[in-house]
Each structure stands twice: as structure tokens, then as C-alpha cells.
Amino acid sequence: MELDNQGLMLVLDKNAKKKEHLFQNSIPKYIFRAILAGMYLTIGTAVAVTVGEKGNHIHPDLGKFFYAFTFSLSLVMIIYMDTELGTSNMMYLTTGVSRNVVRVRRALQILFVCVFFNFIGGTIFSLMIAQTSTFAELTSDHFLFTTVQAKLGKSAGQIVMEGIFANVIVNTAIISSARMKDDAGKFFAIMFIIFIFAFLGFEHVIANFSSFSMAFFINGGAMEGMTVGSVLQNYALALIGNYIGGGLLIGLGYSWLNRGETVYYD
């Protein structure tokens, strides 16, 4: 893996400042970037569940494998199109607060706006993609529906734990790609790292905004097991888990590791 001359902490500091600048410079533009992130996650989810369904037609064990690799394209689009993703901002903004780069109040404002408009983007574009021919008249055992049902059937503890691991993996992919010079290296780093979280079926709240909305609109209403309570529980617990994984373990964790260091610095 070829690294540039930016250490991990420099990448985190630089991006925390960038988030604050984007937000301060124009809130409407920041909102649009967050909506676009929801759009790219919806597109990535749409193609991933379609490929997963085709894989299951070849062999029942292949669908999940194909889905995981294809879903990784979501983060490729989000990073290369310079949009705003709530789960990566959990890491950046927590680090920024810890290192006195961003004030607590401003960090909370940015994170709330980002996550909320990720949700808006995921919902709007899920409604739009449900109108396309690819998703007309899906059967009840389609890969999309079975995946969402499995998510809604998890216990509270499972959602939190899987949320923690999901955002550790997502932010590892983001940092890895940010430290690379070569675009091909960035691409493969994202693809193979995100594959881990997608294949294991871990809980990423922003991705769930898209997959749950798609299932609802494509099904023509709530599917079996999809209630307001079950959806909100998943969102809330996945959000908590994602923050612990990305904000505390990675963001705050690496900030602490490098506090006071003068010889070894990530």
C-alpha cells in the first residue's frame, strides 16, 4: 500500500476543518452534498441487491458474495464525488472536537444536518428508483426484501454491536483511501474493506435509510415485519453503534493515541 506524506492525524485534522468550512460557507450547498450521499448509497444498494438476486439464481450461496462486492461501489461514488456521509463525519468531527479544531456545538450541528439529509436523500431517491423497470413487480423472496427482513429481525444488542463494527470498517476504508496516492489503490482498498462489512451484514444507519425506503416503496407499502417501531429502533440503535465505532473507537481513539506524542505520530 503506497501512502502519501499525510499521516492519519493530519488527514483527520484536515477533513474536520474541511467539514466546518463547507458548513460555514454555505449550509444549502452542504445540505445538497449530504443529499447526494444518500443518492449514491441508494444507487449502490439498488445495483447490489439486483446483482445479489442474480447470484442467488446461480447458487444460493453466491448472492451475498456478489452483493457485498457490488455494494462497495457506493462508498467509491461517495468519496470520489465529494459528498457528505454522516458515518464518516462521526469520526472526523469527534476527532476535531478532541483536538480543538471544531467546537462541540458546531460539530453537533454539522452531524445532525448531515445525517438528516442523508436520510432525505436516501428516501427521495429510493422513491424515484422504485419507479424504474428493474424494480417492477419483485417477488416476496427477492434479495432486497429478505435482506431487509433479516435486519428488522435482529435484537437490540445485535444491532448496536454490528453498528460498531460497521463504522470501524467504513472509516478504515475512508482513511486508507485518503492516504493513498494511486487511484487504483484507493479503489481496491475501498472495495475489499467495505466488502467485509457488507458481507457480514453489519448495520450502517445511512445504508439502512436507503434499503428500508427502497423495500417500502417497491413493495407498495410496509412489508412483513416492517413497522414504525422496528424501523425506528434499527435506525436509533445502528446510529448509536455507528457513533461508538466511528466516533469513539476510531476518531477519539486515535486522537488519544497521538496526544502528547513527539516521536511516533500516526
- The confidence score (pLDDT) of residue 1 equals 30
- In the chain, the N- to C-terminal Cα span, in Å, equals 16
- What contacts 84, CB < 8 A, 6 or more positions away? 19, 22, 30, 33, 34, 36, 37, 114, 118
- The confidence score (pLDDT) of residue 242 equals 98
For residue 223, give the C-alpha cell.
412489508
The band of 182, judged by pLDDT with boundaries at 50, 70 and 90, is confident
Assigned domain for 188 exists: yes
Assigned domain for 224 exists: yes
- The confidence score (pLDDT) of residue 266 equals 67
Assigned domain for 1 exists: no
Q: Which domain, by its residues, includes 235? A: 8-257
* Overall average pLDDT of the 42-49 stretch: 97
- The confidence score (pLDDT) of residue 5 equals 36
Assigned domain for 2 exists: no
Percent of the chain with pLDDT over 90: 84
pLDDT tens for 66-98 read 999 999 999 999 999 999 999 999 999 999 999
Q: Using an 8 Å Cβ cutoff, are 186 and 180 in contact?
A: yes
- The confidence score (pLDDT) of residue 262 equals 60
* Overall average pLDDT of the 198-214 stretch: 97
Question: What phi and psi, each to the nearest 5 degrees, are found at residue 169?
Answer: -70, -45
- Between 61 and 214, residue with greater pLDDT: 214
Reported as half-sphere exposure (CB side, CA atoms, 13 A), residue 169 has a value of 24
Assigned domain for 228 exists: yes
Number of domains, the chain: 1
Which segments within 90-246 are labelled E, that is strand? none
Assigned domain for 64 exists: yes
Q: Is 131 exposed, middle or buried (0-12, 13-18, 19+ CB in 10 A)?
A: exposed
* Overall average pLDDT of the 173-195 stretch: 90
Q: What is the CATH number of the domain that holds 241?
A: 1.20.1080.10
- The confidence score (pLDDT) of residue 153 equals 95
Assigned domain for 263 exists: no
pTM given for the model: 0.93
**CA distances from residue 16 to 12, 24, 119, 169, 266 in whole angstroms, order as listed:** 6, 13, 22, 19, 16
* Overall average pLDDT of the 30-53 stretch: 97
Assigned domain for 247 exists: yes
Could you identify the residue written with the cell 427521495? 124
Would you say residue 2 has pLDDT above 60? no
Query: How far is Cα 224 from Cα 234, in angstroms, rounded to an integer?
Result: 15
